[in-house]
Amino acid sequence: MIKKSLFLFCSLIIFTSLVCASEPFRIFKTPQGQSLEGRAVGYEGQTFILADKSGKLVQVPLRALSVEDQTYLIKAAQANKIPRGRPSSIPPPPSQITTPSAESSEVVSKEVDLLLDEKPTDIVHKPPAPKKVTFRPGSFFGHVPVPLGVSPEEALAKAVGAKPKPGEAIDFDRHVLPILKERCNSCHHAPFDRSGRLVNPKASLRFDTFAQVMKGNLDGPVVVANDLEKSRLYSVLNLPEDDDLFMPPKGGPMDEDQIDIIKRWIMEGAKPSKDGISATKGGIPAPDEPVSFHNHILPLFEQKCMECHGAPFVKNSRTIKPRAGLRLDTYEWVLKGNLDGKIVTPGDHTDSTLHRVITLADDDPEIMPPKGGPLSGDEITMIKRWILEGASEQPAAEAADPNAPPKVKKVETVAAIVDKKTSILDQLAKRASTPSKSSLLAAEKTGALVRQLAEKSPLVRAEFSSFASEVKDENLGAFSGIKNNISHLDVSRTKITDRSMSLAGSYPNLNWISLRNTKITDNGLTQLTKLQFLQYINLSGTQVTDKCISTLASMKSLNEIYLWNSQVTESGAKKLRESLPDAKIIF
């Protein structure tokens, strides 16, 4: 009897302490306005486990919540108010405290694992992080690219690591970072998506940059300069191998030389590389530091642009493609541009669409990024500098002066082309009269966006930027009142057919037309042969074939033609280049 009473008494004390330590119920909100009433009962890395009043568990990534809720959860975790790990049982809220029996104190919820393993209904499959490619020894492709002005020994050391020479100070980029990448980054990497699930670094700890190493995790810093006892990174490396906290847990312990390098780096002040990019990776480079695509430009794109311009991914069995056909997730895709052409002209920011759209007025509908506010002045200057430095994948030998004039190759040829375009538009403007307000309103009733090319120009650009998939052939009939004013026409992604081409062919001042991703065929193009001022045509994603080559070849005014992802073959594109040798043909 005494033992049973003692058992119940101990159970009551433990139960009461758990209840008192549990977090109260609150309304958690997402940036999209969704809400959930619950309380935090555990966390793993940056994923928190919330329980509603019915006891159902929900697994929520920290970044999916509002800033206020993120701050609340982080502070609660740091104060040990939220237990780490997945709860095996859920203590009831304070309002439901009851005296537990001996049997109830031993009950563990069997539904917790099932609830935590439930897949979200909004399934997103994004491509996994690219795997590291290895080549056989001596392979040409295995050599490390070395930028001009950089020592090959220095480039190799930063890529694969180097042992410090006797008496040499420890350099983070050369000596420490390669060790962390080799032995630690399999667990302590940057977050990435795998089969619709966000894979966070273990213990919320990243070792991919100097800034992340020094940041530590929710439990505090793992490196304290000049203090080995407080540096948990060094401590876990020296634990017995059978210790649960021993690191790294796979691949065996680090060798003595590697541990000694980390030890010396901490005792020398745990400083970033003096002339390296580790300290500025993911941020703004110093004025005298060349801009690095991978360490400065790409992190900015990942933060500001990937929501719209990332790699295609599957969402609810539907493939989501990047907007405007533009991807910014690799250097090659950035230089390739989109279906309308390149967005970067190396050496000339004034001719780079990328620079133009980020420097537009805040209220301009074409400003980029469209969400989250415009880029800061430092971020814009960084992109400008990168372009002036040659827009290379590797950092330039010297930093560019953002106020320096652009370095343009073949200046005379480019200037001649600009003058030619300007003279044609000026000529077309003289042929047209200012459109009436009633005709403009009639055109806009179709859902089209109609705007003047310039403040006093009678020429207009007409496009269906919204509800393009609902636009049909009859919608172009509303342009009859402004057909003499249309110099630019964009009907991309609409449902127009060859029937509309007879209307477009009647616009005498048409200079630019985009038919991208429409049902236009070879027959429809024949209706445009009388447009003597047409210079640009985009047929990407259409049904045109090699039969249209003769039609396009007869339109001698064309100087820019896009045939990517159409039915035109390589031989057909070759014939077109022979017929229009001065035209820019993208195939």
Distance between first and last Cα of the chain: 88
Return the number of other C-beta atoms located less than 10 Å from residue 491's C-beta. Answer: 24
3-state SS of the chain: helix, strand, coil percent to 5? 35, 10, 50
CA–CA separation, 542 and 549 (whole Å): 14
Q: In the chain, how many H helices and how many E strands?
A: 19, 16
Average pLDDT for runs of 10 along the chain of length 587: 48 45 76 79 82 82 82 85 73 46 36 36 46 65 62 60 80 86 87 73 86 84 92 92 87 90 93 62 78 87 87 81 88 83 86 88 83 88 92 84 65 39 74 80 81 85 79 81 88 89 88 92 90 91 92 91 91 91 87
Specify the 3-state DSSP secondary structure of 424.
Answer: helix
Of 440, 430, 446, nearest in space to 461 by CA:
440
Residues 6+ apart with CB under 8 A from 404: 388
Buried b (16+ CB within 10 A) or exposed e, 101-134: eeeeeeeeeeebeeebeeeeeeeebbeeeeeeee
- CB-neighbour burial class of residue 340 (10 A; exposed 0-12, middle 13-18, buried 19+): buried
What are the boundaries of each domain within the chain? 2-118, 148-278, 284-388, 421-586
CA distance 245 to 94: 35
Residue 317 and residue 265: Cα distance in Å, rounded?
Answer: 49
Q: Just give the CATH number of 421-586.
A: 3.80.10.10
Tokens of 388: 């002036």
Asked whether the beta carbons of 505 and 528 are under 8 A apart, the reply is: yes
CA dist 489 and 569 (Å) reads 26
Question: What are phi and psi for residue 40, nearest 5 degrees?
Answer: -80, 130
Peptide bond into 248 cis (omega under 30): yes
**Sign of the CA dihedral running 416, 417, 420, 421:** negative
* pLDDT for the residue 147: 60
Q: What is the distance between the alpha carbons of residues 568 and 548, in angstroms, rounded to a whole number?
A: 8
59 has which bridge partners?
49
Report the CATH fold assignment for 2-118. Answer: SH3 type barrels. (2.30.30)
Cα angle at 391 between 386 and 392, to 5 degrees?
115
CA distance 305 to 22: 39
Letter string b/e over residues 191-218, b meaning 16 or more CB atoms within 10 A of that residue's CB: eeeeeebbebbbbbbbbbbbebbbebbb
Region at 190 (left for phi over 0; alpha for psi -120 to 50; beta for the rest): beta
State the Cα–Cα distance between residues 464 and 448, nearest whole angstrom. Answer: 5
Cα(199)–Cα(196) distance, rounded to whole angstroms? Answer: 9
Residue 128 makes CB contacts below 8 A (sequence gap 6+) with 192, 193, 194
Burial of 44 (0-12, 13-18, 19+ CB in 10 A): middle
The token pair that represents 262 in the structure block:
């980390």
Task: List CB contacts of 232: < 8 A, sequence separation 6 or more.
Answer: 222, 223
What CA–CA distances, in Å, run from 357 to 201, 287, 299, 369, 424? 35, 24, 19, 8, 24
3-state DSSP assignment of residue 114: helix
- Token pair of 200, please? 């966070």
Phi, psi of 231 (to 5 degrees): -90, 100
524 closest CA partner among 508, 509, 511, 537: 537
Tell whether omega for the bond before 369 is within 30 degrees of 0, i.e. cis: yes
Which amino acid type is present at position 412? E
Strand pairing report for 35-44 and 460-463 = unpaired
